[in-house]
Amino acid sequence: MKTIREYVEAETLSLDDLKGALQLAMRLEFATIPPYLCAQWSVRRDPDRTEGVLHRIVSQEMHHFALAGNLLSAIGGQPSIANAEFLPTYPANELPGGIPQEIPIDLKPLLKEQLAVFMQIEYPDFPPVALVPEQPPATIGAFYDRIIAAFDTLIPAIDQNAHAVDVPFAKPIRSIADAIGAIERIKSEGEGVRGSPDQPSGEAQGRAHYYLFKELFVQKRLVKVGEKWSFSGAPVTLPEVYDFEPSAARPNPSTEFNRTLSNLLVDLEKCWTSGDAPNVAAMFQLRIVGQDLIRKGIRPEFRWDGGAV
């Protein structure tokens, strides 16, 4: 599979390249979900409703993942997510597509050091990777811009009957305009837009994930003072959390969780291949099993279970 840099630097993208880029986008968007979920599920006592912030961000990442799949299905591709290779291995020193991370991405409770990791992932326009002067890193923003340009130049046929995950914030793609709008939404909600990291482009309702995480990290609300933004608003109290660690116990305490996750991925893939409806009950079951593990001090593994059906 090509890297993000290879897609960004290619002179042109073929239809097969565009399909490959959208499959990579699915992996990229999904890779953030396990660490964000573990942080959300770790919340124990929550005076400032931090869990709600994590819930909003996780929901948007899930919608971005679904939109990438809907885009791929709409141009004749087939999303492939029900396999061991799709799932990231944590800790991870890079995001899918070869975006390196100075701080490894791992599955940990919602503590300040984990918020620093989340800010790194969502840094506006690109993650703060170790810059190499001879070859600066390709950015997530540039990757999505390349996908937009490919839709503009290739004008791929959009299958009006393509199967899709059809939920309120991830609708089927029925036109090139729908496709470009979906990618722009992924960019603006997730990695943010070009500009100073402390100067969001819009008001709070449309603020990208970086700013939401930084409010928690500095424990101050981001407010507008005159024409400038500043993390100088009301104080934010971080929640008390459950601590958890990987377990070496046998039988594996994450077996049920891994099977639930794997079956959920199988069901989701069927949404694109067969037109099945999303298995919402399985999503709730994953949360129940994951929270139970964390409250017992055990880290959910987010690994593929070969017995998934």
- C-alpha torsion angle, residues 94, 27, 283, 169 (rounded to 10): 120
Quote the CA–CA distance of 274 and 163 in Å, as a whole number: 7
Give how far Cα 133 sits from Cα of 3, 127, 129, 196, Å: 19, 16, 12, 21
Q: How many CB atoms lie within 10 A of CB 223?
A: 14
What is the rounded average pLDDT of the residues 132-156? 81
Confidence grade of residue 308 (pLDDT, cut at 50, 70, 90): low
Answer for the pair 123, 191: CB distance below 8 angstroms, yes or no. Answer: yes
What is the rounded average pLDDT of the residues 267-289? 94
Answer for the pair 156, 242: CB distance below 8 angstroms, yes or no. Answer: no
User: Over 60: is that where the pLDDT of 29 sits?
Assistant: yes
- Tens of pLDDT along 87-125? 999 999 999 999 899 999 999 999 999 999 999 988 875
User: Over 70: is that where the pLDDT of 193 sits?
Assistant: no
31-45, 129-143, 285-299, range with the lowest pLDDT: 129-143
Quote the CA–CA distance of 266 and 282 in Å, as a whole number: 11
Can you list the domains of the chain with their CATH numbers? Answer: 4-248 (1.20.1260.10)
pLDDT at 133: 42
- Tens of pLDDT along 49-94? 999 999 999 999 999 999 999 999 999 999 999 999 999 999 999 9
- Residue from 163, 144, 138, 142 nearest 72 by CA: 163
pLDDT at 130: 37
Query: 215-219: long-range contacts (C-beta < 8 A, 24 or more apart)?
Result: 216/50, 216/53, 216/115, 217/112, 217/115, 217/116, 217/119
The dihedral built from the CA positions of residue 80, 82, 83 and 86, taken in this order, carries a sign that is positive
Confidence grade of residue 131 (pLDDT, cut at 50, 70, 90): very low
Token pair listed for 288: 């129940």
Higher pLDDT, 22 or 211: 22
User: Over 80: is that where the pLDDT of 200 sits?
Assistant: no
Collapsed DSSP state (helix, strand, coil) of residue 64: helix
What is the rounded average pLDDT of the residues 185-208? 64
What is the DSSP-derived secondary structure letter of residue 226?
Answer: T
13-22, 195-204, 285-294, range with the lowest pLDDT: 195-204
pLDDT at 207: 76
Q: Which residues contact 258 (CB under 8 A, 6 or more apart)?
A: 252, 301, 302, 303, 304, 305
pLDDT at 3: 93
